């Protein structure tokens, strides 16, 4: 894992809590499944990082025992903290720098690992003598020396001198700030600088990668490849599995086209499934060629029936898939993703937001950003667009919303400092109407950020804000997408405040692509499609085009395959080489003049 969890929580904006300084270890010690644990009850304001420091144990070890903690912890939550410290890695920092290291997943063998990295079993065994006695889940293996992984793009000369560009740490800089400055992942930074795991110091020299290309007309650029390269052979036919809660008895006899055409009154889960399916099918029909075909296989995954889901993944048709789209919900996806991992099948969830579905699974990816990703991207947009104006964050006071508000403010200031070299906190944080009134600046444009989904609070606050602002200048309000579906929230207020919100997608009904897709749907089903239809089109176009272009190993480099779709964009981020990919691309949408439009 090598600091994956620690890095990820930094990205989410979690920080060391002051209250942890007075915390004490739990006296509740129990043995569970033969392993001894402290049962720690999370205190108010306590972070995972603080807990790891309290027990003097690696943060990764806590998350491995408590997978749900990757999406955050809550006061009163009970965590299992290993009583004994896990054995440290058998490799030295020099080994991590010299070799590419692989963590053995459940069911992996020397043969499967050798095929993954395109090396021989003998070469792995030579570097790892203990591997001859068999492999264990979680065991780490040296694979190949990194100096052998230089990938050239029509380059005749190699980089002169050192393979790494060096950088001197400046006063006040953190690892997070350095990785953002040079556009590298924190996981790679720690890989290149293992001594930085305990922090960096002023004037310390660190490796930041071969970022700058050589200025020579005969040399295009060398890239030090620290991720797997795409080597699999392309195929003339790909098997695409679509796993949705269709809720029919036998998948072999499903006639989805007819069911939709007959306008049957499906429950909401089936409606989502059918709309996504129709979008995926539309994309597949547009991509089929004589030399590349896609064979669709439908699987009915009923979200509340785990036994049924287990049965589906044991079918021969599942084992033969080249790509699996779905399931759409967490519980089913977790089961299917584990089986896909064992079989080496790339799998994507189109709706799940929680990042924990990506944990320790390189084959998994998700197209809908998590709430924290959404908030961080919103913070970057506000900095880029409104940093010279009066930005005010309204604190709702709701306990459930504090973590997101804190993440917004932390990321706002980090991004402002790194990108614009401005360390001054320019976000005012106030509570209630009195705070909103005092923070209003008549000499600037005012942008009030309200990270809340509480309908009662929002209705009351915006009503009061409307009364206050009635005779004043323009006021802009930035919130969340859910506002548009709140029944009692007056759309007049949203229009007056030029409501702005982040979203994973935006449908521009005036675009020719959307018009064409809508027309095709209406011609078959005599009704207009829902939003899921368009999302299904973009998701399928992205993944199938990647599969068609790069072959079965396309999933290894999703972060290098960026694309703007008709309603969604794809910009994947991979926190660690042992985890899956999260789409961090969002649309900013504005409601003004009683219509929605994409914000610049």
pLDDT of residue 348: 93
The CATH number for 4-82, chosen from 3.30.300.130, 3.10.350.10, 3.90.1150.10, 3.40.50.720, is 3.10.350.10
* Intrachain domains 4-82 and 93-148 with the same fold: yes
In this prediction, residue 164 carries a pLDDT of: 65
How many angstroms separate the CA atoms of 30 and 211, rounded?
49
Judged against a pLDDT cut of 60, whether residue 344 lies above it is answered with: yes
Q: Is the pLDDT of residue 452 over 70?
A: yes
* CATH 3.10.350.10, domain 93-148, yes or no: yes
Residue 480 · residue 458 · CB < 8 Å:
no
Q: Which position has the higher pLDDT, 181 or 477?
A: 477
Residue 96's pLDDT band (cuts 50, 70, 90): low
- Which range, of 62-71, 156-165, 373-382, averages the lowest pLDDT? 156-165
Comparing C-alpha atoms, which of 581, 72, 598, 574 is closest to residue 371?
72
Average pLDDT over residues 210-225: 37
Task: Pick the more confident residue, 130 or 283.
Answer: 283
State yes or no: pLDDT of 500 exceeds 80. yes
- Per residue in 116-173, pLDDT tens? 777 788 788 888 877 766 777 777 888 887 643 333 333 223 223 345 677 888 876 7
**Contact (Cβ atoms closer than 8 angstroms) between residue 514 and residue 508:** yes
Q: What one-character-per-residue DSSP string does 337-401 give?
A: HHHHHHHT--EEESS---GGGGTT-TTEEESSPPHHHHHHHHHHHHHHHHTTSEEEEEE---GGG
> What's the pLDDT tens digit per position in 34-49?
889 999 998 887 877 7
pTM for the whole thing?
A: 0.59
Distance CA 391, CA 175 (A): 27
Domain 372-503 belongs to what architecture? 3-Layer(aba) Sandwich (3.40)
List pLDDT tens digits, range 399-431: 888 888 888 888 888 888 877 777 676 788 888
Q: Is the dihedral of CA 550, 556, 559, 560 positive or negative?
A: negative
Cα–Cα distance, 541 to 566 (Å, whole number) = 10
Q: Which CATH number fits domain 237-369+511-589: 3.40.50.2300, 3.30.70.600, 2.60.40.10, 3.40.80.10?
A: 3.40.50.2300
| Cβ–Cβ < 8 Å for 11, 186 | yes
CA–CA gap between residue 268 and residue 499 (Å, rounded): 28
pLDDT score for 423: 65
Give the sign of the dihedral formed by CA 450, CA 455, CA 461, CA 463. positive
pLDDT of residue 15: 33
Domain boundaries, the chain: 4-82, 93-148, 237-369+511-589, 372-503
């Amino acid at each position: 894992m090598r600091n994956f969890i620690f890095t990820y929580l930094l990205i989410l904006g979690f920080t060391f809590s002051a209250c942890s300084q007075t915390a004490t270890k739990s006296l509740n010690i129990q043995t569970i499944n033969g392993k001894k644990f402290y049962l720690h009850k999370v205190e108010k304001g306590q972070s995972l990082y603080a807990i790891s420091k309290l027990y003097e144990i690696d943060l990764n070890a806590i998350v491995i025992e408590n997978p749900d903690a990757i999406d955050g912890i809550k006061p009163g939550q009970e965590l299992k903290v290993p009583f004994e410290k896990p054995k440290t890695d058998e490799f030295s920092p020099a080994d991590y720098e010299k070799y590419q290291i692989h963590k053995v997943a459940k069911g992996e063998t020397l043969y499967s690992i050798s095929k993954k990295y395109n090396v021989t079993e003998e070469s792995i065994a030579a570097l790892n003598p203990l591997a001859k006695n068999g492999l264990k889940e979680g065991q780490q293996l040296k694979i190949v020396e990194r100096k052998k992984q230089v990938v050239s793009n029509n380059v005749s000369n190699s980089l002169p001198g050192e393979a790494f560009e060096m950088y001197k740490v400046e006063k006040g800089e953190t690892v997070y700030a350095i990785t953002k400055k040079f556009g590298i992942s924190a996981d790679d930074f720690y890989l290149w600088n293992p001594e930085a795991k305990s922090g960096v110091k002023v004037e310390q020299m660190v490796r930041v990668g071969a970022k700058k290309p050589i200025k020579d007309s005969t040399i295009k650029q060398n890239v030090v490849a620290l991720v797997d390269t795409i080597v699999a052979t392309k195929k003339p036919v790909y098997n695409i599995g679509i796993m949705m809660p269709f809720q029919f008895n036998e998948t072999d006899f499903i006639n989805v086209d007819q069911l939709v055409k007959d306008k049957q009154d499906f429950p909401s889960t089936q409606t989502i499934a059918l709309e996504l399916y129709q979008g995926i099918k539309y994309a597949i029909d547009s991509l089929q060629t004589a030399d590349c075909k896609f064979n669709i296989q439908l699987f009915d995954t009923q979200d509340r029936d785990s036994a049924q889901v287990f049965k589906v993944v044991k079918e021969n048709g599942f084992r033969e898939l080249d790509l699996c789209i779905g399931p759409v919900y967490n519980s089913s996806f977790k089961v299917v993703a584990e089986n896909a991992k064992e079989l080496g099948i790339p799998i994507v969830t189109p709706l799940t937001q929680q990042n924990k579905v990506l944990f320790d699974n390189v084959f998994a990816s998700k197209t809908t950003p998590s709430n924290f990703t959404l908030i961080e991207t919103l913070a970057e947009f506000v900095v880029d667009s409104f940093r010279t104006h009066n930005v005010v964050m309204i604190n709702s006071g709701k306990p459930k919303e504090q973590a997101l508000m804190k993440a917004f403010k932390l990321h706002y200031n980090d991004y402002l400092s790194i990108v614009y070299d401005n360390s001054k906190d320019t976000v005012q944080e106030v509570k209630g109407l009195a705070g909103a009134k005092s923070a209003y600046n008549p000499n600037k444009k005012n942008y009030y950020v309200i990270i809340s989904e509480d309908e009662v609070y929002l209705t009351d606050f915006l009503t009061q804000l409307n009364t206050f602002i009635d005779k004043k200048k323009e006021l802009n309000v930035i919130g969340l997408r859910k506002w548009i579906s709140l029944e009692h929230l007056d759309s007049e207020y949203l229009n007056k405040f030029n409501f702005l919100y982040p979203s994973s997608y935006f449908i521009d009904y005036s675009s020719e692509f959307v018009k064409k897709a809508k027309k095709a749907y209406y011609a078959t089903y005599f009704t207009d499609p829902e939003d899921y239809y368009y999302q299904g089109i973009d998701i399928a176009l992205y993944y199938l085009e990647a599969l068609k272009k790069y072959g079965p190993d396309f999933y290894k480099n999703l972060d290098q395959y960026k694309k703007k779709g008709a309603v969604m964009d794809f910009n994947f981020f991979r926190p660690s080489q042992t985890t899956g990919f999260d789409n961090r691309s969002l649309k900013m949408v504005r409601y003004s003049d009683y219509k929605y439009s994409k914000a610049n």
